[in-house]
Amino acid sequence: MAPRQRFLLIAVVALAAIAISAQVALSSPWLGLELSPHDGPEGLRVDRVHPDSPNAGVIRVGSVIVGLQAADGRQIPLHGNLVMEEPDLLSHTDLNLFMKRQTELDQALRSGGARFVLASGDQVPVVAIDTPWRQLSGGFSIHTFYGLIALLVAVGIWAFRPKSAATRLYALSGVATMVNTLTLAIYGDREFVLSGDVFEVVSAVNHLATLMVNASLVSLFWVYPRPLARFPVPALMICIALIMWVLSELQVGESAQVTVYLPIVVGYVLGLCFAAAQWVASKGRPLERAALKWCVLAIFLGSVLLMGLVIIPPAFGHPPLVPLLVGFGAYLILYLGIAAGLVRYRLFDIERWWFKTWLWFAGGLMVLVLDAILIMGVGLTSTYALTLSLAIAGWLYFPLRQWLWDRFGQRSSISLNEALRELVDKLFSASTEAEVRRAWPDLLRMTFQPLSLEMPDAPDKKAAVAVSADGVLMELPALPGDTRRASLEFASNGARLFTKEDMRVANLLYDLTGKALQALQARDAGAKKERSRIMRDLHDDLGARLLSLVYATDTGTVREVARSALRDLHGLVDTTAGTPASLLEVANGCEGEIRQRLTDSGIELDWQADPMRLSDQELSARAAANIARILREAIYNIIKHANADRVEVTWSRDSDHLLVRVSDNGKGETLDGQGDGHGLRTMQVRAEDLGGRVDCRVLAEGGFVVELTLPAA
């Protein structure tokens, strides 16, 4: 079954259950009166007469009703507990009497002819009708709303993750909560009377649902975020809940306090123990730790209110501190909070206010505890005790809270000062854009200490820093002029998730680094402009003079030196201009120069270069100039030292390397025999500048070879 079909099916069943519950609630007799226990030993006081009441004008507000006389003359005494919202707080003996009285009153009112006996001794006729629909718009609707929200949230998550033990337990708690609130809406919002038979069934179902809610939520912390052990705790908890329910129906013990409320309190404590064990087990797993934090917060903010105000007081023999309608509103906090933890929605926000929430909770608890100590222990009046407890909290707790926040709450925050100091140091020491780009990943590592940092190519450019919904991943866009974005996973070496504060700092670092690159680009542009001006002056002034010298001199040696100087000047100007060239263009340019020089020296040239293999590689101006100068130096050494009559220059390229080989058939002197070796060292330096190397050796058959090897791309 598809997830939406599961969800729709449960929703339809829930609506049917609501309709049945509404029909049961509407079947109870309605008098149109608001009754409350009388201050005396017995009787009910009339607090309000509804305008549409069938008894309007007959019974006055303030009247005290002490009994109901049936049409057959039977006298049924009325006690204050008949309008109790939760009658299972009574002992089993009193509860059985309560149910008997409910049945007698229901029969007497439905039979007609009944009369109320007032404390004054007067008797007034009473008329009961079926409960109008509009009476369901109050407490019944609110209770139903609580349960429906819990059910839809829990089942909505389970429908898409039906195989997860955590979502199954959560769905069970949602179903049980729906049943709990529906049954409570039937008998808790009754006006006065509900048939004892119906009351007993509804109350029994309510007890079972209450125990199941507790068992499923306690078991949830055994399996989530990860199973604590292979022991079947969820099945055991559900079995215990069923056993306690059976004991409750058998009326074991004095009251439901023993078989229902006390087990719920024990289960709550056990759930806290499971949560503490999960906290230890999730160490080093920030995503699980964040989900656990969220769920624990939901449990404390929701169930502490529910347990403290509604469940715990009856467990110790006291009535609930607030009406059930108010107390069960905590279900919304509990279920929506746990749902957020289970689906792991925007968990990075929790890092910011998790510690603050606990400090807030501790502050309120401290005021309450101090107030209780001053009243019960010291004997102060409530007014003085509250004033003094607030003063103590203000003088002691708030400074302590600030210290705790500074000491622990910010322990995972970013040292922005250190990050900015490192950034400034890098920027002021960097002389090129490449240095800034190389420093960028190191700056991110130092600032955020991610568990992993990758720099993948970005197919599409993102305009801003982004954090994933679960806070695990933070991505920064590529720096201007780059194609690689930064992808960081788990902050603080995996100890926490990324937060909005991380996003703010990352945006600041990104903007500052971008400004630094712009500054370097502006500086380089200015330097390039100045170099271009100098090169133009050299070309126009010095170049013209060298050219005049070439044509004006009659000495061949001087003419050759002038031509060589002119070629070097042109190469220097081209390199400075930064104009790229293809490998084939560089080879052709070198061939023309080398052929001319060797021809003038009476040396034959064998030039081997495949244009098809050289045309598709582009070289920078610097690479082109270095290759030309290496070949020029090699040819110069041959002319000056080799005493050769034939030179072979071969260009070859594969997928990884470019190889230029210059060999001669000369006398084959070793490196030591070729001058002072300065030219060979210069060739090696130029090759290393391009990431390559120059190898020189004497050939066995005679002659000398120089091999230039460079990366192909």
In order of start, what are the domains of the chain with their CATH numbers? 135-345 (1.20.1070.10), 578-711 (3.30.565.10)
Q: Is the pLDDT higher at 394 or at 452?
A: 452
What tens digit of pLDDT does each residue of 543-575 get? Answer: 555 555 555 656 655 556 555 665 665 555 555
Instruction: Return the pLDDT at 97.
Output: 93
Taking residue 565's Cβ as centre, other Cβ atoms within 10 Å add up to 16
Q: Among 99-108, 401-410, 652-661, which range has the highest average pLDDT?
A: 99-108
CA pair distance 337, 265, nearest whole angstrom = 21
Model pLDDT, residue 378:
62
Put the strands of the sheet holding 473-476 in their side by side order. 452-454, 486-489, 473-476, 466-467
Residue carrying structure tokens 């005021």: 367
**Over residues 494-503, mean pLDDT:** 78
Residue 694 confidence class, pLDDT cut points 50, 70, 90: very high
pLDDT, residue 347, reads 40
CB 196: neighbour CB atoms within 10 A?
A: 19
Q: Which of 8-17, 57-66, 379-388 has the lowest mean pLDDT?
A: 379-388
Residue 501: how many CB atoms within 10 A of its CB?
Answer: 16
Q: How confident is the model at residue 471 (pLDDT cuts 50, 70, 90)?
A: confident
Burial 466-488 (b: 16+ CB within 10 A, else e): ebeebbbbbbbbbbeebebbbbb
State percent of the chain over pLDDT 70.
Answer: 71
Query: What does DSSP say about strands 115-118 and 123-125: parallel, antiparallel, or unpaired?
Result: antiparallel
Range of 13-17, 439-443, 508-512, 559-563 with top mean pLDDT: 13-17
Q: What percent of the chain has pLDDT over 90?
A: 25
Give the pLDDT band (50/70/90) at residue 620.
confident
Q: pLDDT-based confidence at 675, cuts 50/70/90?
A: very low
DSSP 615: T
| Dist. CA 473–CA 478, nearest whole Å | 16
User: Which among 18-32, 147-161, 301-315, 326-340 has the top mean pLDDT?
Assistant: 18-32
Give 224-255 pLDDT, tens digit per residue: 888 998 899 999 999 999 999 999 999 998 88
Q: Which two tokens stand for residue 414?
A: 């970013």
User: Comparing 621 with 489, which gets the higher pLDDT?
Assistant: 489
Burial per residue of 168-182, b for 16 or more beta-carbon CB atoms within 10 angstroms, e otherwise: bbbbbbbbbbbbbbb
pLDDT confidence of 31, banded at 50, 70, 90?
A: very high
The one-letter code for the residue type at 87 is P
SS3 annotation, 146-188: HHHHHHHHHHHHHHHCCCCHHHHHHHHHHHHHHHHHHHHHHHH
- pLDDT (tens digit, 9 = 90+) per residue, 70-122? 998 899 999 888 888 788 878 999 999 999 999 999 999 999 889 999 988 89
State the chain's mean pLDDT as an integer.
79
Orientation angle between helical segments 3-26 and 139-160, nearest 10 degrees: 160
Which residues lie across from 695 on neighbouring strands?
Answer: 707
Phi, psi angles (nearest 5°) of residue 619: -115, 150
Residue 491 CA, chain-centre distance (Å), reads: 12
405 has a pLDDT exceeding 70? no
CB neighbour list of residue 632: distance below 8 Å, 6 or more residues apart: 590, 593, 594
What's residue 667's pLDDT? 80
Q: Full-prediction pTM beyond 0.75?
A: no
